[in-house]
Amino acid sequence: RPGAAAWVPDRLSLTSLREAVQECRGCELYRDATQGVMGDGRRDAALLLLGEQPGDREDQQGEPFVGPAGRVLDDALTDVGIDPREVFKTNVVKHFRWSGTRGKQRIHQSPSRAHVVACGPWLDAELRLVRPIGVVILGGTAGKAVYGTSFKVGEARGQLRDWPESFPVARPPEWVLATTHPSAVLRADDRRSAYDALVADLRVAAARAA
Ligand code: URA
Ligand code: SF4
């Protein structure tokens, strides 16, 4: 298989995955990134949160959702009664894709379909390791990665669904729920209502997880 499969270790642990992703050459994104960012959180989490790719801050620190979007996400989880320390957070692509800079910040570029497909074996490994009952998809890029290019987060958000056959994984979760990406809340004209909509979707996941 092309892509990341050759770098995924046989013995799965958070540590073995974190070390192995640093060697990955499954696509070219490793070249311009500081490091690979594997998922982080509880190994026995019931809930896995799936973002797009590490941002500028995550690329530097080597951990997912440690920047501004991560703060929005943790606030929203807390608001629906989910302890952010009890979940597992990861991304469909493990290296930061960027082009050019704005001031000191590097400008984020969404991963292509080829990057998402190449990186799939890492998510498969995380699902085998953590065995979450539910997956919350954050935003359109992660949604398209899982459900295919016709996925529209605006139409799909807030509904419980099954993991699709179009993204075969060894250990699919029992249910999936998509919502908007927390960074879209930060970019929204009306942040308050965008945040409230994120919280409303997460409430559905919290009720299903309870
Ligand atoms: N946005 C994401 O999708 N993932 C992160 O880890 C940080 C920001
Ligand atoms: Fe490997 Fe994914 Fe990084 Fe590409 S983005 S090099 S497939 S870890």
Residue-level pLDDT at 166: 87
Q: What is the ipTM of this complex?
A: 0.96
Closest by CA position to 167, among listed 147, 137, 140, 143: 147
Residue 80 structure tokens: 């629906």
In the three-class reduction of DSSP (H, G, I as helix; E, B as strand; rest coil), residue 99 is classed as strand
Q: Is the pLDDT of residue 90 over 70?
A: yes
Closest by CA position to 37, among listed 112, 107, 123: 123
Helix and strand element counts for the chain (H, E):
8, 8
| Ligand 1: centre distance to CA 1 (Å) | 27
pLDDT mean across residues, the chain: 96
Residue-level pLDDT at 103: 87
Residue-level pLDDT at 2: 74
| Ligand 1: centre distance to CA 55 (Å) | 5
Q: Give the pLDDT band of residue 210 (cuts 50, 70, 90).
A: confident
pTM: 0.97
Domain count, the chain: 1
Residue-level pLDDT at 1: 54
Cβ(130)–Cβ(45) under 8 Å? yes
Q: Is the pLDDT of residue 110 over 90?
A: yes
- Atom 2 of ligand 2, nearest CA residue: 119
- For residues 133 and 163, give the distance between their C-alpha atoms in angstroms, rounded to a whole number: 11
Give the Cα-Cα-Cα angle 106, 183, 199 (nearest 5 degrees): 165
Domain containing 129 equals 3-209
Q: Is 181 left (phi over 0), alpha (psi -120 to 50) or beta?
A: beta
In the three-class reduction of DSSP (H, G, I as helix; E, B as strand; rest coil), residue 166 is classed as coil
Give the CATH number of the domain where residue 39 resides: 3.40.470.10
Q: Indicate the residue type of 156.
A: A
Instruction: Show the beta-strand stretches assigned E in 96-145.
Output: 98-102, 105-108, 134-138
Give the Cα-Cα-Cα angle 44, 48, 49 (nearest 5 degrees): 150
Q: Is the CB–ligand 1 distance for residue 87 below 6 Å?
A: no
Pocket test for ligand 2, best of 119, 123, 124, 126 (most atoms within 8 A of CB): 119
Distances (CA, A) of 202 to 17, 59, 66, 76, 164: 28, 26, 19, 8, 20
Closest by CA position to 188, among listed 154, 146, 141: 154
DSSP secondary structure code for residue 162 in this structure: P
